[in-house]
Chains A and B, each alone.
Chain A
Amino acid sequence: MIQTIAQKFTGRRSTLRAAEHRFIVIALVPTIIFYAIVKFYPIFFSFFISMHEWSLFGNVSPYVGFDNYALLAKDSLFYKVMWNTMYRTFAGTFLGAFCSLIVALILNPIKRGSILLRLIYFLPVMTSVIASATIWKWMLQTRFGLLNQLLSYVGIQPVAWLQSTTWAMPSIIVMGIWGGIGFTVIIYLAGLKGIPKDYYEAAEIDGASSIQLALKITLPLLKPVVSFVLITGVIGGFSGGFQAIYMMTGGGPLDSTRVLALHIYDYAFQRMFMGQASSMSFVLFAIVLILTLVQFKLQRVDWEL
């Protein structure tokens, strides 16, 4: 014991510091190089591409300045894409947050079977979206799909869910909610855990009903969690939806489900307009950046938490 303390205060100490120093350098230098090449350089490169008429074919990529952005501003398809993206984002986020809140509120007081229930609600989260979109496409099939077959029992005529400009987007939104609800529920449950039980006990003594408890105690105290779910949902929504839509409608019918992520992929890798696609990805980047700043402003996210 004395020996180790002695060592600490004599010569050994400086060698230890050198070892720590070396350890940090060995770990950080490759990391920083990696981030520079794979995470930061591509952003500038992407902006560079968006300033050119860039195609994989042919070696000439003329500089066009901000023309790609100007084209977007005049492109009615792009406005439609933005509208679809917002429709999917806001409807999906708000409905999903609402459904998950209900589930979390009624799941919270349950003890027996709670793990099993949570697992069931979490199953779609673990499933690849490609696979679940395949299942949903089959269930929503017009003639033989399960949904229309079940609806025929109550006398509803078959609906061409994914071939209808009215129903395709709602179908995709519902599938998205199904796929994400388990995740949001877990976030809410964590938030609910943070509400002190005394509040409820005090209110119960005063004779408050369970609905009053939910409205007067739970919801106000859960507000930060709800707004976190909504804002992260909206931020994620703008860049999301690719896999489900790629599998289920491919953006159709008549571009009614064409969202930004799919549009960027389509322009870059199907039509090979990489410059134009890059300018769209920068629009997306700008939107996400603004929303994130709004989030910081609203929530003053404490990273040290």
Chain B
Amino acid sequence: MANQDFVGIPSQVDTRALNRGASDFQRLRRGLLFNYLILGAGAILMIVPFIWMISTSFKPQAETVSFPPRLFPINPTISNYIDVFDRANMGRLYWNTTFISVIKTVFNIYTSALLGYIFGKFVFRGRDVIFYILLSTWIIPFEVYLIPLYLMTVQVGLANTYTALIVPEIFTIYAMFMFRQFMYTIPTELIDAARIDGAGEWYIFHRIIIPLSKAALFTLIAFYFMWNWNDFLWPLVVIADQDKYVITVGLATFVGEYWSQYGVIMAGASLAIIPILALFIAVQRFIIEGVVLTGLKG
């Protein structure tokens, strides 16, 4: 999880789009065309690798190595995809990765929301000291943990198990920090009112705080699911058994074995990428709407 350094969470996304319509025409005249041209060219550079991946994945082997390069295969085939499912045990990889990502994400988000709530909304002795001590672990690179955590895993007999993949990452500092920030947007009077009405602390957390945190919640769920799905180094080190591989490790191994069968390799890469992209694009609008709504409310 080395890549979770920073995400612009909520309130960062464009609320301005809503009140900008009037000046749009003027701006366009002032040369937005130029902006579109540059951004368009950049966008093509950004998606060429994906297009080439999909294009190659539908080509028979002979076409992948032919000149000149063709965007559309002459004899499109799906045999590459069938091959990947057979040889890389793709169904198994999907199941393993989904299973682990879902469990990790649930733990990550639940514990972070709970702790964010506690650090953000309660006043008790030692609160800030504890918070900053936990926060300090944010800066430590995972490479520092790699060796000791692995040896500890072996010592307690958890090497090559899913427990070893999940347990060290149950708590996560980044989401906790984000939730704590988000708690400042929730009025404390609301919580006090619920207490006066006799609501228990857990009831307040589950029925008031969590529903009110939806915007942060969905954004963080999306990002954590993505990070957990794409996690590589720790599964590579801990899991030895091919049946227990997650998709990134499975793909890396597969690429190592079948390099030069480019069609099959690209089919494998597509299968590793597509579910997470589809999911993200599906919830993307929802996330942005949630962000815009909370932005307006706040």
In this assembly, does A43 line the interface, its C-beta being within 8 Å of a C-beta of chain B?
yes
Q: Does A246 contact B (CB under 8 A)?
A: yes
A285 touches B144 (CB 8 A): yes
Contact digits for B221-248, partner A, Cβ 8 Å, 1 yes 0 no: 0000010011011000100000000011
The residue in chain B whose Cβ has the minimal distance to the Cβ of A109 is B27
Given contacts A111-B17, A239-B2, A268-B147, contact A34 B252 (CB under 8 A): no
**Chain B residues bordering chain A, tally (CB within 8 A):** 100
Out of B17, B147, B152, name the residue touching A114 (CB < 8 Å).
Answer: B17
A107 within 8 A of B: yes
Smallest beta-carbon distance A3→chain B, Å? 10
Q: Which one, A8, A178, A240, contacts B196 given CB within 8 A?
A: A8
Tell me which residues from 179 to 199 in chain B have a Cβ below 8 Å from any Cβ of chain A: 181, 195-197
Whether a CB of chain B sits under 8 angstroms from the CB of A232 is yes
Question: How far is A129 from B168 in the complex, measured between Cα atoms in Å?
Answer: 22
Known: A28-B118, A193-B12, A232-B6. A144 touches B17 (CB 8 A): no
Partner of B233, one of A4, A40, A243: A243
A139 surroundings in chain B (CB, below 8 A): 49, 52
Instruction: Check B148 against A46 for contact (C-beta < 8 Å).
Output: yes
The reply to whether A284 and B280 contact each other, CB–CB distance below 8 Å, is: no
- Cα A189 to Cα B288 with chains together (Å): 14
Residues of chain A with a CB closer than 8 A to B3's CB? 129, 236, 240
Cβ of A212 within 8 Å of any chain B Cβ, yes or no, is no
The answer to whether A16 has its CB under 8 Å from any CB of chain B is: yes
Instruction: Tell me the smallest distance from the CB of B231 to a CB of chain A, in Å.
Output: 9
Q: Determine whether the beta carbon of A20 is less than 8 Å from that of B201.
A: yes
Q: A8-B196, A138-B262 are in contact. Are A239 and B145 (CB under 8 A)?
A: no
List A215-265 residues whose CB lies under 8 Å from chain B.
Answer: 232, 235-236, 238-240, 242-243, 246-247, 260-261, 264-265
Q: Which 6 A-B pairs have the closest CB atoms?
A: A239-B141, A23-B201, A128-B230, A42-B148, A190-B12, A45-B148
